[in-house]
Structure 1
Amino acid sequence: MTKKMMTGALLERGTLVLVEDDPDIRLMVADIFRGAGFKTHAFAYGQEGVEGVDRHRPEVVVVDLGLPDIDGFEVTRRIRNISNAYILILTASSHEMDTILALEAGADDYVTKPFRPRELRYRVEALLRRPRLRTDTTNLTGSSLDPQPAEDPAQEPADQAPYYLEHNGLQLHVATRTVRVDGRELVQLTASEFDLLHSFLVNGRVVQTKEDLAQGLRGGQGTDSLGRIQDDQVIQVHIANLRKKLGETAANPRWVETVHGFGYRLAAPMEDKD
């Protein structure tokens, strides 16, 4: 019984799509993940990668920013429109703006070139350690690249008891991984944004540092000092993107409150602010 369950979990998380135009890096990265047990599909062009995601429905996508047809930012946006797979960016740039743009496009994490194979595997494994109730990677608005009507996010699966978290007019539906604000459907959150919001709702007014939040996204695993600097930047961008989608600001938070010098926490109930 245990062996069967382990095999099933491996199959469920065993598909990875790589989009990288440099043949040497593409071969190296593909070999890294195939050696780690992933069923890996590699593509040299951005549009091929988008179509590969739609066809293979991977759990993780690794995208290089510098592609010959369309850049990695646009590839990430297109993938995010059709898939809820985790997206890891490969970038040769150390510019903060490139990181911000990649995360704003829908990426979950990034690795700067040159990188060590162990670091790359670690980042992907960290993404996969996150608990995810939704494991399909079909179109977020349908089953293919052609848009279809979206399901009502307020409807939980019939075989599951309703489970949602609520605060200041926001409802986070755990089973369907959707969010409503004041009774209306919210724009889609990325996996990382959803997980951060879930963490705030679960922990309430307890302050969480950037390191706490980063470890939560990585499944509780720590990292070195260089990795912590990178993680801090990732968390800052994710928080900024989350606030933008929620329609709030750091100066007037309704859900995510900054505790200067410490971290973040859930904002106070609105009745407490009167």
Structure 2
Amino acid sequence: MTTPSEELKTAVIIEDDAEIRHILAEVLESSGFSTVSVGNGIDGVRAVLTYQPVLTTIDVNMPGIDGIEAAKRIRAQSDTFIIMLTGLNDEADVIAGLGAGADEYLAKPFRPRELRARVEALMRRSRPAGEVPATPAAPAQGSAGPGSPGVEPTTASIAAAAPDGGVPPMPAPADGLPMEAASVPFVDGDGEWLLHRDLRLHPENRIALIDGDELELTRTEFDLLATLLESKRRVRSKADLTLVLRGDSYVTSSFVGDADKRAVEAHMTNLRRKLGESAASPRYIETVRGVGYRLTSEG
């Protein structure tokens, strides 16, 4: 019997190659997801805003807006997990995708079991309280009809949400600006906060503050920061941080390659930028050359 939480587990696939779309859909559906497939970035952004998926896969090279731009637009308005699909040797795409807000990357050609492993690792990551999305939104009145391009709902729950197979138009935020996330209430009780200098982080409510101002962090950036705050002055290697993000417990149980370590470096660069610091003059996180990262001293 399917539990209510399983019924809500939706994935959006943004991929212009029909064969790869089919493979992605098969793997994700075998992992318990309802899937919606689209063939370009514009429809992909609309599908994410409409169906509020837990997971989104995005191909980097697509017609119209590319995957990097699609990821930026999605991340501005959604907290969905994002997996970027890149060419085997396109390291620049990996770095750009992570900089755009992606949580993971997968190089083509990929093995289905590798995709499953990456997805399972993301699903093990903690989610903010009450964040599980509601049932997929029904198309708004006057939404696109059967002629809508490239939308492939593949389960009954998705078909019920959009019986004509169309994706409703993307909601128009006021003044053309990204829709702001609902404000998160402040939680009293310093015992629940992780503290370092003027940086405060609440792991359960996933709130990060600097001098009282809330930081807009991606899931991955938040998890990296929380891990370093919990570790205090203990150095965490890039391989160690990779396994933390995957949810793996032991280095010996999972392979960590150079690309994974570079991905951690890219996430750390983005995190430092949002913290308002640089590696050369760190206030919160320092690099231990050849090893990894740790908090700066309090002095």
For normalisation by structure 2, the TM-score amounts to 0.79
Aligned partner of 1:96: which letter?
E
Offset, 1:9? 4.3
Aligned residue for 1:195?
A: 223
Aligned residue for 2:96?
A: 101
Say if 2:290 is the partner of 1:261. Answer: yes
- Given that 1:85 and 1:137 are in contact with CA atoms closer than 8 Å, whether structure 2 keeps it comes out as no
| Structure 2 residues without counterparts, runs of 5 or longer | 135-170
**Structure 1 counterpart SS, 2:236:** coil
- Given that 2:77 and 2:180 are in contact with CA atoms closer than 8 Å, whether structure 1 keeps it comes out as no
- Given that 2:82 and 2:103 are in contact with CA atoms closer than 8 Å, whether structure 1 keeps it comes out as yes
The Cα offsets for residues 169-210 of structure 1, whole Å up to 9 and x where unpaired, read as 011133432322122232x11100000000011111111111
Aligned partner of 1:25: which letter?
I
Aligned residue for 2:3?
A: 7
Q: 2:67 aligns with which of 63, 72, 83?
A: 72
Greater RCO structure (CA 8 Å; 6+ sep): 2
CA distance in 2, matches of 1:195, 1:172: 11
1:149–1:105 Cα change, 3 Å: closer
- Given that 1:82 and 1:145 are in contact with CA atoms closer than 8 Å, whether structure 2 keeps it comes out as no
Offset, 1:150? 5.0
Q: 2:201 aligns with which of 172, 179, 190?
A: 172
Aligned residue for 1:233?
A: 262
1:149–1:258 Cα change, 3 Å: closer
Offset, 1:230? 2.2
Aligned partner of 1:73: which letter?
I
Aligned partner of 1:182: which letter?
D
- Given that 1:82 and 1:137 are in contact with CA atoms closer than 8 Å, whether structure 2 keeps it comes out as no
CA distance in 1, matches of 2:79, 2:294: 26
Aligned residue for 2:247?
A: 219
The CA RMSD over aligned residues, in Å, is 2.4
1:36–1:264 Cα change, 3 Å: same
Q: 1:129 aligns with which of 124, 132, 135?
A: 124
Mean Cα deviation higher: 31-40 or 208-217? 31-40
Aligned partner of 2:187: which letter?
E
**Structure 2 counterpart SS, 1:176:** coil
CA distance in 1, matches of 2:295, 2:77: 30
Offset, 1:95? 2.7
Aligned residue for 1:248?
A: 277
Aligned partner of 1:258: which letter?
T
The structure with more radius of gyration: 2
Say if 2:90 is the partner of 1:90. Answer: no
CA distance in 2, matches of 1:87, 1:71: 14
Mean Cα deviation higher: 144-153 or 70-79? 144-153
CA distance in 1, matches of 2:269, 2:241: 14
CA distance in 1, matches of 2:183, 2:128: 17
The Cα offsets for residues 65-96 of structure 1, whole Å up to 9 and x where unpaired, read as 11111100000001101111110000125232
Offset, 1:154? 5.3
Aligned partner of 1:16: which letter?
A
- Given that 1:54 and 1:145 are in contact with CA atoms closer than 8 Å, whether structure 2 keeps it comes out as no
**Structure 2 counterpart SS, 1:220:** coil
CA distance in 2, matches of 1:63, 1:152: 28
Aligned partner of 2:71: which letter?
T
1:152–1:51 Cα change, 3 Å: closer
Offset, 1:38? 0.9
CA distance in 1, matches of 2:85, 2:179: 31
The Cα offsets for residues 135-192 of structure 1, whole Å up to 9 and x where unpaired, read as 2469xxxxx66255655445239xx998322211011133432322122232x11100
For normalisation by structure 1, the TM-score amounts to 0.85
CA distance in 1, matches of 2:61, 2:104: 16
